[in-house]
Structure 1
């Protein structure tokens, strides 16, 4: 089969060669493009003749899929697949496989890190030191003894809950479906209203799909405790970020730690959330660690090899 890796995976080229070796040994053609592109014409050129394309988190639009006559499977080096034109895949019967699990630890650790940044005013304190100021106005808040609400108790949500429990927090969880692993992680599963009413810290861990887009809106924010904080290391589209900005500016919420937005960074300077009070931001880096980049590359190549051998592995429901 003809296989094309359309963009870098954040690991050395030597490692790419090592991971591709079993595919080549099995007689498959493999080509690797070591630069990123979001240009549809260039993506079409790179995809030409490929039966399998391998991508990371850059968009793979419908026009490219429709122009790629040989395409049978898209291997995504990411957990979420909402950057792939799934309607076009369904129409063509193209299979999509993802790398679920590669970034569980990295996302959980950043969710905790953003929480600490917000509660202990780390960014503001850094600025104070650099400007020759004192600790005035930098009184912090502890995680110990607080109630944390995890919305989305999948693997990442459970990993996040474990970290908060290790710091002495009570952890509540909400998911549409029962997750036995949540109980094993010490997460008490409760209705969403209960979680929002009781949690001092709410951390979102939902996928982006038709049922979750803008699902965390003004109504859910209004149910949160006064003075609570919101952490979003999941997907920007699940939150009404204008409503979140309003709640922050009105003092309803004490702060927010945000890694994901309605669009990929760079974020416009006039974006309301960027100008809201008491926020700490990161530019969609929750997944981005050396360890996770290596894990996702291994999983993606394993997915491709499994496909060529007719084995089911990490197949996404479209």
Structure 2
């Protein structure tokens, strides 16, 4: 059995290979690539003899999948799999496993880091104090007492809801599936957008969520409201969000995700919008989370080899 780690996973090589060897080394030849490439030909060359490919958020299209003739398992070191040609895998009965849960703490932390930056003007404050300025015009807001809306209440959304309550927020939620979340009031999407001071997105990307926050939805939000997107870029219409920010329709936004993986084009509309904080899809990326991810991913491989696959998508 040949396993190819087709791109770096954000963990030091020695540590990563130790995790891999501990999980599957006795049964598997492990090949590690420490560079990230995106052209089909090189990816096919790397994966053509692999029975198992370990990949993070590197796009693998149908051409690449079909070029990897021996492929039986894609061990995706990520939560979402929208960068994988899923239908091509299904046609060939290739199993796909993901790493749900590894970044729950990391993403939740960044939500509040971004939000507090927006509410307390931390970035402008840092800039002005370096220019001998004062707090004039930079007085911010408290989280306590604000109406906090969570869209999508999976593991991360539920954690965000609990943290928001710890800050003293009133928490509201909208999700396709409702669950028992203490202290959370459920609303339909339109009502939540109209009610809340803060909207935080935590939905996967699929045909139902693509573009779910567009011009009409942004128009329902309060003028003083802010939007946080650490989910997936295409969940939000970027042009509509940029316009809403530039027109003062909403007060601010923070985005960690875009339509494509960074680097983001310099002419992207959100990079020229007012009152916006942008980060380069870093929410999941903490030292701790990347170790958790590697452990889960190779445990997925081990379980697959044992005939008891887990985290199958």
What is the TM-score with the length of structure 1 in the denominator?
0.96
CA distance in 1, matches of 2:250, 2:56: 34
1:106 aligns with 2:103: no
8 A contact 2:300–2:311 mirrored in 1: yes
Residue-by-residue CA offset, 1:71-120 (whole Å, 9 max, x unaligned): 11101000010111112112222111000000011001101110101111
Q: 1:151 to 1:88 in 2, by over 3 A?
A: same
TM superposition score normalised by structure 2: 0.97
Out of 126-135 and 65-74, give the one that drifted further.
Answer: 126-135
Displacement of 1:23 after TM fit? 4.9
Structure 1 residue 60: Cα displacement: 1.2
Q: Please list, as runs of the form range in 1=range in 2, the aligned pairs for 1:57-206 lying within 5 A after superposition.
A: 57-180=57-180, 183-184=181-182, 186-206=183-203
Question: How many Å apart are 1:27 and its aligned residue?
Answer: 2.3
For 1:263, the equivalent position in structure 2 comes to 260
Matched, 1:282 2:279: yes
CA contact (8 A) 2:24 2:301 kept: no
Residue correspondences, number: 313
Verify the 8 A CA contact 2:201 2:228 in the aligned structure 1.
yes
- Work out whether residues 24 and 298 of structure 2, in 8 Å CA contact, stay in contact via their aligned partners in 1: no
Partner of 1:273 in structure 2?
270
Measured in 2, the distance between the counterparts of 1:216 and 1:25 equals 45
Aligned partners of 1:80 and 1:23: how far apart in 2?
A: 23
Q: Supply the RMSD in Å over aligned alpha carbons.
A: 1.2
CA distance in 1, matches of 2:46, 2:266: 34
Structure 1 residue matching 2:193: 3-state secondary structure:
helix
Give the corresponding residue for 2:20. Answer: 20
Superposed CA offset, 1:213-234 (max 9, x none): 1111111111112210000011
Partner of 1:306: 303
Q: Secondary structure at the match of 1:132?
A: coil
Q: Stretches of 4+ moved more than 3 A in 1?
A: 22-26
Q: Could you tell me how far apart the structure 1 residues matched to 2:18 and 2:192 are?
A: 47
Q: Give the alignment of 1:222-261 within 5 angstroms.
A: 222-261=219-258
Paired residues of 1:99 and 1:300 also in contact (CA < 8 A): yes
How far does the alpha carbon of each residue in 1:235-286 deviate from its partner, in whole angstroms, 9 at most, with x for none?
0010001011111111110000111111222222221111111111111100
SS state of the match for residue 218, structure 2?
helix
Structure 2 portions without partners, runs of 5+: none
